[in-house]
């Protein structure tokens, strides 16, 4: 974990110190993604099958979530496993239902004018659930449940198989409990191409792609929007990030555990500590070194820690400035006066404020989706919400009285732009 004293860095040094890992945007990744899309676009399911065998080790597999399949999966789980799953789904559903927008009010800026915003679910949502290094069934809950609450009729779920070709029983149980009837065992950039190009048997092409992934998946989502006209994605959601702001009152054991909880995700994950004193920085670094040795995924966490940064700052104003510049996916605050810093924050996927607000709670069971913007995209993007699965449009109505109130102004502005046909379309309303 490299340590920097913020006030001693100039602008160029600060930008370099806050940079994401360089290999997240490797030109070879884009080249491979284009190759995959070109091949699957030309050969369809045959192309997908070849790439899946090459990269996953197995051909794509359709999984019907019928009663026998779901019962068999649930039988491999304990009652405590299932209770934890049900609690998570209950909390996510409750939070998303509370945020579900209704159609807007009728607005009449002038007599005879009627304006109203209506919301509709998208038709087909492609849900990508990571499963290569770890089966992230929590991500399935965090995407499938908001989509169901939004009323999306086609929710297409894909996830890569394990090394032995299986799908974790909890993935199947979560899918069924989240309201899915089927899923596909296929992953990676080729899985994203399958969703975007609509090559899966009986599955329409996605209108929008959802879910986090490694650098290949993230690049494939981005490229898909170039390749397929009208296709949207939820956000840039690549390798995980966590920034922790800590002062001398912070619990060192908890701060270190939070940092490692994200470092163990992926060698390309990045964790950052913004410390309000050199003492708390040194104590956290020492505790991280102790805790990492006991982790089953210690090698991955250590690789991630090579990209870790520690910034020593002079107070909460400077701490918030560093955080806002970075725009973290996850932001944890472990300082004495949490409420004093929150108003200063402008860019974060989600914030965990105070000792007991664990990032892990947000990952699994608190309620808001854990699919959040990475790579600084929190400066402009939200994380997934129920609104992510909705589109909206405004219905505009006008009586003759309403047309008379607005037509002259509209026609004049149109003529100022040199658009006579527009002006006449307004003028003619007054002749009807």
Q: Which of 330, 336, 401, 422 is catalytic?
A: 330
> 350-357: long-range contacts (C-beta < 8 A, 24 or more apart)?
350/383, 352/258, 355/250, 355/251, 355/254, 357/332
Please, is 387 exposed, middle or buried when counting C-beta atoms within 10 Å of its C-beta (0-12, 13-18, 19+)?
Answer: middle
3-state secondary structure of 228: coil
- Measured distance CA(266)–CA(90) in Å, rounded: 28
Distance between CA atoms of residues 19 and 309, nearest Å: 10
Burial of 378 (0-12, 13-18, 19+ CB in 10 A): buried
How far is 105 from 116, CA to CA, in rounded Å?
Answer: 6
265 classed as catalytic: no
The dihedrals phi and psi of 335, each to the nearest 5 degrees, come to -130, 165
SS (H, E, C) 358-395: CHHHHHHCCCCCCCCCCCCHHHCCCCCCHHHHEEEEEE
Query: Contacts by 405-410 with C-beta closer than 8 Å and gap 24+?
Result: 405/110, 405/111, 405/112, 405/113, 406/110, 406/113
Query: Is 330 among the residues known to form the active site?
Result: yes
The active-site residue out of 219, 241, 287, 329 is 329
**298 neighbors 267 (Cβ within 8 angstroms):** no
Residue 338's alpha-carbon distances to 176, 342, 356, in angstroms, are 39, 7, 12
Active-site annotation, residues: 329-330
């Amino acid at each position: 974990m490299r340590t920097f004293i913020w006030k001693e860095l100039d602008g160029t040094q600060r930008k370099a110190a806050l940079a994401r890992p360089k290999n997240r945007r490797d030109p070879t990744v884009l080249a491979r993604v284009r190759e995959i899309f070109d091949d699957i676009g030309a050969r369809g399911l045959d192309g997908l099958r070849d790439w899946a065998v090459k990269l996953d080790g197995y051909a794509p597999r359709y999984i019907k979530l019928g009663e026998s399949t779901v019962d068999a999966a649930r039988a491999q789980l304990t009652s405590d496993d299932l209770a934890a799953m049900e609690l998570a789904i209950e909390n996510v559903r409750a939070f998303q239902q509370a945020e579900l927008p209704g159609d807007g009010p009728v607005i009449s800026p002038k007599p005879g004018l009627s304006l109203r915003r209506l919301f509709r679910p998208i038709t087909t949502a492609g849900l990508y659930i990571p499963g290569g290094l770890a089966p992230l069934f929590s991500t399935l809950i965090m995407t499938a449940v908001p989509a169901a609450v939004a009323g999306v009729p086609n929710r297409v779920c894909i996830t890569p198989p394990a090394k032995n070709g299986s799908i974790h029983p909890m993935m199947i149980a979560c899918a069924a409990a989240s309201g899915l009837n089927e899923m596909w065992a296929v992953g990676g950039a080729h899985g994203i191409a399958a969703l975007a190009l609509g090559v899966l048997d009986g599955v329409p092409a996605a209108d929008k792609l959802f879910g986090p992934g490694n650098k290949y998946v993230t690049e494939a989502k981005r490229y898909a929007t170039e390749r397929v006209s009208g296709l949207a994605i939820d956000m840039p959601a690549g390798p995980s990030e966590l920034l922790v702001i800590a002062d001398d009152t912070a619990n060192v054991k908890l701060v270190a555990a939070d940092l490692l909880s994200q470092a163990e995700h992926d060698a390309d994950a990045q964790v950052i500590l913004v410390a309000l004193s050199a003492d708390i920085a040194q104590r956290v670094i020492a505790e991280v070194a102790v805790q990492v040795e006991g982790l089953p995924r210690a090698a991955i966490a250590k690789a991630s820690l090579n990209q870790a940064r520690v910034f020593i700052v002079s107070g909460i104003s400077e701490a918030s400035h560093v955080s806002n510049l970075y725009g973290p996916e996850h932001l944890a605050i472990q300082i004495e006066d949490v409420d004093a810093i929150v108003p200063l924050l402008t860019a974060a996927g989600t914030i965990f404020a105070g000792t007991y607000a664990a990032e892990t709670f947000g990952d699994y069971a608190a309620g808001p989706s854990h699919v959040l913007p990475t790579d600084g995209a929190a400066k402009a993007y939200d994380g997934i919400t129920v609104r992510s699965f909705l589109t909206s449009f405004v219905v505009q109505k006008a009586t003759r009285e309403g047309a008379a109130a607005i037509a002259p102004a509209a026609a004049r502005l149109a003529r100022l732009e040199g658009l006579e046909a527009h002006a006449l379309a307004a003028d003619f309303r007054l002749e009807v």
